[in-house]
Structure 1
């Protein structure tokens, strides 16, 4: 059933229960009759109205339903159909809000004692009638409470869906930023290395053909490495286990030449450490080495890597000419990558060199 109400099944289910209970009572008491036929027909009309809810203005629908509830009660000798009256504040809650529902609910509860007073002398001394009033009042309270819970649940679901859409948007933006950093830190690093090696090959082509050939070989290695890392990124960073110390050693071996000496000191053991902080340190080292090769004019770069029980630390120091500490995309991406892990990133640069200190927790 298509409905604008959070719980569209309540009204038809209650009507069906009244139809079964009241019909059974009438058959046992009087047998088939026109009164029973009218009683049943009106309840079926009420059930049908719920299916037409979207096509009838809400105020008009409520007025029609109230009129039918009264008519059903008139034809019902069992008193079971009084339960339908609780649908008045229940339905009004969704259409007009909680205040109107409470007012109508109070009116319905007050109407039953008045009806008993007009039709049943001394009903106040009849325990069954007093119980009817109490149970009816309790039913109205429960109906309003159920409507309130249903409305709040629907509002919470709407807020949740909006939040999920916002999270999806933010996740997409975060993923774009991650990919941008990944391309810069990985592919950008290797392209820089290729450019440096090819520049070296050009410079030494006539003076030292052997060094030029080595530089071309290093450029070719960097190109292969870039292609491999692109494939690994597509395959969720590859399938083989990642070891930071081994990967840094391999990177340094291919960047070292007669103009730049890179050394690595390692303390502690990385075995069993989580991958994400180690990968972040590798990207940071890549960016630092790329900057040292491309911009700093350094002749010596020293990497100090240490592992302990609480995290890992990386310090990269070069003897280049330094810079003015304005962070480009690479350094900003490096800082953001570390801060996402609740790590610490510190950068210091003077005309005598640059030092980058990084700490990431496990």
Structure 2
């Protein structure tokens, strides 16, 4: 089947131009005639073929068009109709490729001098005929060039659409990963904190009612905080300016079972929100792991704001673990991924006396 041309308007537009020019010449020269009627009918037939070209086999379509171009030229006394032959290599380019188009274009250019030799003796010395050959050759070259540009533009558009689909898929995957990290780092931490606080409240309900009530209050705070963060992540609600130091202080105040200290140096004002959020999520994950796995009783957080970036160090006195058996869960991996997206670094050290995580993010 014939391929769909990127510029389908070229052929019918040229046919209409030839019809207008040839008809004007015929009317001025000899008036209405059967030749003029046949000339116009063949051109209109060519335009009709353009409308149904996709339903005609490519080779048949090319031969049919070429035969009609020859027929139109035999009925045309003005010489305007020979411009139709530029459509032979032009349309062939889209179906048969560049080489075939060049061969057909060369044949068309060569045919005109042969025709002049047979019908116009001494045409080589007549400027108008030599000019006709040169202009016809130039038209063929421009037609092939235009076809090449159209094909490349179509191929580029197809490639661009493919790239856009890939970008869309990658963006969707990246967004899924982001949401997974947010859910794990935020909900995972708060659910762990709630579980710890409720266990404490249950254990001390009779022995220390005030401590149990405090634990329930902290669990309620963690639940409220988790709900707020879910709304902010999923619905992207407006929120008050985020301050990492205040968020860490608030987080520490509502964690029981650990003695946590926070040491801050430098100025936080004006720092990128993405970097500050990444540090906060890392601190959440580290404290969750300390509560859940390490058996630590003391955790020390050191946060340093510098001109080029920030450094966060979380050190606990838990039992640690061999580095070659580092936990493979989503928590540590998500922490590394989040920091890597900011071109930051994460160093992990662990042993019998505790675990230390050092995180560096640039601004």
TM-score range, shorter chain: over 0.9
Aligned to 2:358: 357
Instruction: State the shift of 1:237 in Å.
Output: 5.8
Q: SS where residue 327 of structure 1 aligns?
A: coil
Quote the residue 1:346 is aligned against.
347
Q: CA deviation at 1:235?
A: 2.2
* Pair 1:326–1:188, CA change in 2 (3 A): closer
Mean alpha-carbon deviation: is it higher for 209-218 or for 305-314? 305-314
> How well do the aligned residues superpose, as a CA RMSD in angstroms?
1.4
Q: CA deviation at 1:47?
A: 0.7
Cα contact 2:3–2:94 (8 A) shared by 1: no
* CA shift digits 1:79-121 (9 cap, x unpaired): 1111110100111111111111111111001001111111111
Q: Distance in 2 between matches of 1:97 and 1:24?
A: 36
In 1, the alpha carbon distance for the partners of 2:136 and 2:3 equals 27
Which consecutive aligned stretches of 4+ in structure 1 deviate over 6 angstroms post-superposition? none
Report matched runs for 1:102-251 at 5 Å.
102-236=102-236, 238-251=238-251
Q: 1:231·1:238 contact (CA, 8 Å) conserved in 2?
A: no
Corresponding residue number in structure 2 for 1:27: 27
TM-score between both structures, scaled by the size of structure 1? 0.96
TM-score, L = length of structure 2? 0.96
8 A contact 1:301–1:316 mirrored in 2 = yes
- 2 CA distance for matches of 1:140 and 1:270? 69
1:143 CA displacement: 0.9
Question: Structure 1 residue 334: deviation in Å?
Answer: 0.5
Q: Tell me by how many angstroms 1:291 deviates.
A: 0.7
The answer as to whether partners of 2:3 and 2:58 remain within 8 angstroms in 1 is: no
| 3-state SS in 2 of match to 1:348 | strand
Q: Does 1:253 align with 2:256?
A: no
Per the alignment, residue 331 of structure 1 pairs with 332
Per-residue CA distance 1:307-337 (angstroms, 9 max, x = gap): 2222222111111111232332100001001
Q: Deviations over 1:30-88 (max 9, x none)?
A: 22221111111111111111100111111111111001111111111111111110100
Q: Determine the C-alpha separation between the residues in 2 that align with 1:313 and 1:335.
A: 14
SS in 2 for 1:312: strand
CA contact (8 A) 1:3 1:51 kept: no
